[in-house]
Structure 1
Amino acid sequence: MGADREGGARRRPVRAVAYAACGAVVLAGCASMPDSGDLRDVESTPRQDTQVRVFAMPPQDNAAPGEIVQGFLEALTSDDPHYDTARKYLTAGAARKWKPEQSTTVLANGPSTDPDHPAVGGEDTNNVTYTLAGSRVATVDAQQAYSPAAGPYNRKVHLTQDAKTKQWRIDALPEGVVMGKSDFQRNYTSVNKYYFASNTSDVSTGRLAAVADPVFVRKRVDPMTQMVRSLLDGPTSWLGPVVRSSFPTGTALKKGASSLTPDDQNKLTVPLNDKASRVGSTQCSEMATQLLFTLQNLSPTVDSVELQGADGKRLCDLGRGGAVAWRGSEKRPEYLYFLDSKHRLVRIASTSTTAVPVPGALGQGDRGLRSVAVSRDEHSAAGVALDGKSLYVTSLASGGSLGDPVVQSHGATADDRLTTPSWDDVGDLWVADRNPADPRLLLIEEGAGQPVEVRTPELPGRIKDVRVAADGVRIALVVEKDRKQSLLIGRIERDEKSGQKPVVSVLELRSATPGLEEVTAMSWAGDGRLVVVGREQGGVLQLRYIQVDGSTPDGLVPSALPGVKAIAASEDDRAPLVAYSDDGIVRLPSGGQWQTVVKEGSAPVYPG
């Protein structure tokens, strides 16, 4: 394209890379546009150290249209807080209308830029259009919520040449931001913000249940202030129906509040507007708990928070030990449980290497077991009989009897009967009946009484496995359809009216493992994270961590383990990962290698 040439050479846009640790500034070149207009990929920025901040450079005088498009795309991957440099590649009108915060589209590679050639005889030398193209991986919406995506990406960028200055600028472009996966991973990080479950609390203490709501924020653009603003804005749309915030509607940071930074005592002071000025001490403690949990997820060094009103006076403060809610990740299990060679339930303490039968009926071996679940307070257990037909619930106390089954299945084979059960921290027990003639997801309130059939209007197949989150408002399901098994995360909604049987539904199921065609085992491994055993198309079984929104945590990859049949993890990441494999029951200590616990055993579980 003739307009791309300036004196026989192409101008190359550059970026400034600032090293925060030493203050030096380096100029680095980036990929330039081809003169011929052939389809090319915009090279993703190489991975930078966490201490590196990247700032875009403004357009050079007389830059060709291709260089303007390239420079704009490079500016989108910089650490410019408000994209001010990116706007310099736009006309004044386009700069005012463009809303980069509306969305971020993540592509497998950086977007290719292909100039649209005008029809012969109709060339307009003052206007040119480029197509940005690529394969979509995910989107991050205006609420900063991540969603896996697939399919092609094609968007138009139109440039015009100013009649007076002769400078090319973009005057029409897609909303939001687009970048390759490697740039996204360098620029963004996933952080859990916390709200309270609307209808559940700890069964033993009555404390509020805190629920993780993952969002993505820009790593080096004042992430602490970003997270406070995001928390105050409220939960994401998917989680919103089952959680609440203790911040009054309209609460925001005080006008003029600058970057929030902990002091030398690791305390963060958060100045709020007048919407929070009349909260009582209980509500203020709940607000501070939400902030403390959120900020500790971003930066574990934050020890306390202080909330201030619009007049600058202290509303309340809260330290690590003062939280008025709980989260699953802070509850350390006392024991690891599994079935021994006699199909009895046994347990092993974290400080021991010897497994012993649990007290009560499930440890006596009178009824052989296929799978088990232990309540989160470790006072009760549920076991599925060896043939998969019956589910029993009993106390983990000496003398506890087995009693009658609370659920029975009439499936033809063991694999068509009951799944492994799962407890939430409210004390409710969940299990699925895989009987093809009558597939059901069941809830047994407090592990006793008549089972409640859970509504699953969007279920795309048959449930093969169930794990409910500790908070009782999210559930992970392995679902089989067309011989493929996928992991879906659903939202649990309860309609409980006085004196009536509760109506429980699992809604808005979403895929957490879009890259896997088979998921054979899974377990919750944090407030918003699971560990799965799965297989990509044509691949081998592998262990991996995934977030509930379908994203992959940075740097977390369990050591390879062949022949994995089951996996067990605790929400508390201090407890080692445990698996049932060809080598028996094995565990993975932090920073170590897989170690054999016992040669003969199966079905390992932590409480839950």
Structure 2
Amino acid sequence: MRNRRRGLIAVLLAPVLLVAGCVSVPMAGPVEQGDAVTDPVDTDFEFLPAGPTPGATQEEILQGFFAATTASQENYRIARSYLSDAISSEWNPYQSTLVRAQEGFVERLDDTTLEYSVQVIAEVDAVGRYRVAPEATEQTLPEFRFTREGGEWRIAELGDGILISQQAFPSAFSQHVLYFYDPTFTNLVPDLRWFPTRSGVPTRIVRALLDGPSSWLDQGATVSAIPEGVALVAAPVGIVDGQAVVDLSSEILELGDVERQRLLAQFRASFGSLGNVAGVQLTVDQTPVTIAATTEVPEVNPQVDGRLLLMGPDGDRFGFSSGGATVEPVGRLSERAIELGAVSLALGPTRTVGAMLTEQGAWIVRSNDLEPLLLDNRADLVPPSFDGFQLMWTATSDASEGLSAITTGGEVIPVDVVLPEGTRLVSIDVSRDDARILMLLQGESGPRLVVGAIARDEASGRPLRIGDLLDIPIDGAAGATAVDAAWVDEVRVASVIESSQGTAVDLHELGGRSRSLGRPPGAVQIVGGNGGVTGLRVLTDTGVVVEPRGNGWQSTGVRASFLGVQQ
């Protein structure tokens, strides 16, 4: 006898052959490229698909079931109405979610069994981790077996999990940012997750936090303030007068004051995406846990100066521009950048020290009277980055040479990283939380965009290595040339590539989807600022700085020879 409950997906992206003569199961509407979710889902919107209709065929029941899985209200009540009484309560829709690119095909195996094959482009696992398929592949789902109940067909056997179209995904799922700490407990590090919009999101956030960070972050780059073995005792997590009440097991009572403060800060930050949650109350056996107040809370998604940092078009002005030709210098740092002929500059979060590239190499440069230090004079350096631990990150375009982190005193710290063979580095950028590094590569077949987690010593913050890389697909990369990349905000990055169609900017979510931001002509550099996409600025090959407006890009009226990066 077959097992009635199997995983909807055994191995993501396993290729299968479709049997000739399959019948298409139509889904509503044409397939289109989905847009990234940039705003919270409208929680007042209610989508309630229909339940089974009398006399429906097996194919119609299957089609209706797929449509109903877009509505998670009341624990997928409508979708369960398509299932037999015996399996309805056993089916676990939260096990995984497959995102399909287009309509699937159904094949009849016998009088009571249908098989469904579909092109899968992504998967969301049980704790909200979104994984993009390297390329869309056909996949066959576990068989759907049918039985009659009260004279009507119902599904009696199916796999756990759901299947959803890329069109329906943004309405059916909402994105939430979980937070973990770096090993020094200095910064909170974001981890993007996706949960069914109306199905116990607070509880899913807590369970995902207890499960830990995504694997690419969980390699010495992040730690949790939640002690090992802590469990959620009372579920669902309730919201009382704007407070999320999280009842945990007694292990948290063993924590000291500082550890409890860190624990509360981690939970508060992770509930930040919920508009109906203003605070968090941790309890054990429904009794509030005493946590001393503190003002030492890590900043979430750090902001920078809202003005554009740039070098003037003639190389004779460097500093912050509010528009037009006026530039406010950054102390003596601006003088040194002009005198030494800077071609790139990354300014640290204190705005008093930065990493500068000239024809001679990579320098540490300060806003005070201390002289600049040439600390890496290798040829073919990419523009250096600078982090909150006062380290300059350097690399040559030869990806096999790895990365170097250099202290302001000149100590060189080699940082191991395994980059794809046959690629060269184009750009490197450390995130503002100092826990991740964005790298744009040029491969033989086109650009590649990767992010790696920075494992650091828990006492000193010295980088030790870069973990396994998160590969971010770039649409239209085949045969194109890598130009630049930048952090947009804490969970999104932007890439610029050049092809026969010109230069293109794409927006990528780390643990989510991608979409086009248009084609600013002649783009040669991109930098992030504040406010997500609206804070992006692109420098063109004519020296004009452009910004996103509507569906395109328009001039800011500012000209520059290069744009400074603000850490």
TM-score normalised by structure 2 residue count: 0.83
Cα deviation 1:276-302 (Å, max 9, x = unaligned): 334333222212211222222343x75
Relative distance call for 1:352 and 1:169 in structure 2 (3 A) is same
Relative distance call for 1:159 and 1:273 in structure 2 (3 A) is same
Distance 1:37 1:544 in 2: 36
1:393 aligns with 2:334: no
Alignment check: 8 A CA contact 1:44 1:183 kept = no
Answer with 568-577 or 588-597: which moved more: 588-597
What secondary structure sits across from 1:508 in the alignment? Answer: coil
- 1:11 paired residue number: none
From 385, 398, 420, the counterpart of 1:422:
385
Alignment check: 8 A CA contact 1:195 1:211 kept = yes
Q: Report how far residue 314 of structure 1 moved.
A: 4.5
Q: Report how far residue 604 of structure 1 moved.
A: 0.7
Q: Report how far residue 128 of structure 1 moved.
A: 2.7
Distance 1:340 1:312 in 2: 61
1:213 aligns with 2:191: yes
What secondary structure sits across from 1:74 in the alignment? Answer: helix
- 1:68 paired residue number: 61
Alignment check: 8 A CA contact 2:405 2:463 kept = no
- 2:436 paired residue number: 474
Q: Report how far residue 352 of structure 1 moved.
A: 8.9
Alignment check: 8 A CA contact 1:268 1:306 kept = yes
Distance 1:59 1:170 in 2: 11
Distance 2:239 2:105 in 1: 39
Q: Report how far residue 597 of structure 1 moved.
A: 4.7
Distance 2:333 2:304 in 1: 25
Q: Report how far residue 489 of structure 1 moved.
A: 1.1
Distance 2:47 2:216 in 1: 33
- 2:346 paired residue number: 373
What secondary structure sits across from 1:174 in the alignment? Answer: strand
Alignment check: 8 A CA contact 2:529 2:536 kept = yes
Relative distance call for 1:488 and 1:307 in structure 2 (3 A) is same
What secondary structure sits across from 1:52 in the alignment? Answer: coil
Amino acid at match of 2:511: D
Alignment check: 8 A CA contact 1:458 1:508 kept = no
1:296 aligns with 2:296: no
- 2:492 paired residue number: 529
Q: Report how far residue 588 of structure 1 moved.
A: 3.7
Cα deviation 1:393-430 (Å, max 9, x = unaligned): 12122x33234x211224xxxxxx11111112122221
Cα deviation 1:301-350 (Å, max 9, x = unaligned): 754333233242343386xx8452223x2333275322223435611155
Alignment check: 8 A CA contact 1:348 1:355 kept = yes
- The structure number with the bigger radius of gyration is 1
Distance 1:248 1:138 in 2: 32
Amino acid at match of 2:27: V
Q: Report how far residue 106 of structure 1 moved.
A: 0.6
How many pairs does the alignment contain? 530
1:59 aligns with 2:52: yes
From 418, 423, 426, the counterpart of 1:457:
418
Amino acid at match of 1:367: L
Q: Report how far residue 61 of structure 1 moved.
A: 4.2
Distance 2:179 2:463 in 1: 26
- 1:280 paired residue number: 256
What secondary structure sits across from 2:382 in the alignment? Answer: coil
Cα deviation 1:536-560 (Å, max 9, x = unaligned): x76543333221225248xxx7576
Q: Report how far residue 45 of structure 1 moved.
A: 10
Distance 1:58 1:578 in 2: 49
Alignment check: 8 A CA contact 1:104 1:140 kept = yes
Distance 1:357 1:515 in 2: 39
- 1:175 paired residue number: 160
- 2:122 paired residue number: 138
Amino acid at match of 1:534: I
Distance 1:382 1:256 in 2: 49
Distance 1:574 1:62 in 2: 50
Q: Report how far residue 484 of structure 1 moved.
A: 0.7
Distance 2:176 2:419 in 1: 28
Distance 2:85 2:318 in 1: 70
- 2:315 paired residue number: 343
Distance 2:500 2:83 in 1: 45
Cα deviation 1:561-608 (Å, max 9, x = unaligned): 322211111366498332212453535489897443533x22212322
Q: Report how far residue 168 of structure 1 moved.
A: 2.7
- 1:8 paired residue number: none
Distance 2:414 2:65 in 1: 54
From 96, 114, 119, the counterpart of 1:103:
96
Q: Report how far residue 87 of structure 1 moved.
A: 3.1
Answer with 67-76 or 487-496: which moved more: 487-496
Relative distance call for 1:356 and 1:49 in structure 2 (3 A) is closer
Alignment check: 8 A CA contact 1:191 1:215 kept = yes
1:406 aligns with 2:375: yes
Cα deviation 1:68-121 (Å, max 9, x = unaligned): 211211121113342243233334554465432221111113x423233x6xxx
What secondary structure sits across from 1:443 in the alignment? Answer: strand
1:562 aligns with 2:521: yes
- 1:305 paired residue number: 280
Relative distance call for 1:76 and 1:311 in structure 2 (3 A) is closer
Q: Report how far residue 182 of structure 1 moved.
A: 0.7
Alignment check: 8 A CA contact 1:524 1:571 kept = no
RMSD: 3.4
Q: Report how far residue 449 of structure 1 moved.
A: 2.2
TM-score normalised by structure 1 residue count: 0.77
1:244 aligns with 2:240: no
- 1:190 paired residue number: 175
What secondary structure sits across from 2:168 in the alignment? Answer: helix
- What aligned pairs does 1:575-594 form with structure 2 within 5 A after superposition? 576-582=535-541, 584-586=543-545, 588=547, 594=554
Amino acid at match of 2:121: V
Alignment check: 8 A CA contact 2:319 2:330 kept = yes
Runs of 5+ unmatched residues, structure 1: 1-35, 119-123, 202-207, 411-416
What secondary structure sits across from 1:425 in the alignment? Answer: coil
Alignment check: 8 A CA contact 2:496 2:526 kept = yes
Cα deviation 1:159-186 (Å, max 9, x = unaligned): 2334x85543333333321111011111
Q: Report how far residue 155 of structure 1 moved.
A: 2.1
Relative distance call for 1:160 and 1:607 in structure 2 (3 A) is closer
Relative distance call for 1:192 and 1:430 in structure 2 (3 A) is same
What secondary structure sits across from 1:296 in the alignment? Answer: coil
Relative distance call for 1:450 and 1:256 in structure 2 (3 A) is closer
Q: Report how far residue 502 of structure 1 moved.
A: 6.8
Alignment check: 8 A CA contact 1:277 1:310 kept = no
- 2:16 paired residue number: none
Q: Report how far residue 510 of structure 1 moved.
A: 2.1
Q: Report how far residue 249 of structure 1 moved.
A: 2.8
Cα deviation 1:492-546 (Å, max 9, x = unaligned): 2246899xx97732222122234240442221121111132236x7654333322
Alignment check: 8 A CA contact 2:430 2:437 kept = yes
- 2:28 paired residue number: 43
Cα deviation 1:23-55 (Å, max 9, x = unaligned): xxxxxxxxxxxxx97324322599996522223
Relative distance call for 1:323 and 1:98 in structure 2 (3 A) is farther
Amino acid at match of 1:238: W
Relative distance call for 1:520 and 1:75 in structure 2 (3 A) is same
Q: Report how far residue 215 of structure 1 moved.
A: 0.4
Distance 2:22 2:447 in 1: 43
1:508 aligns with 2:508: no
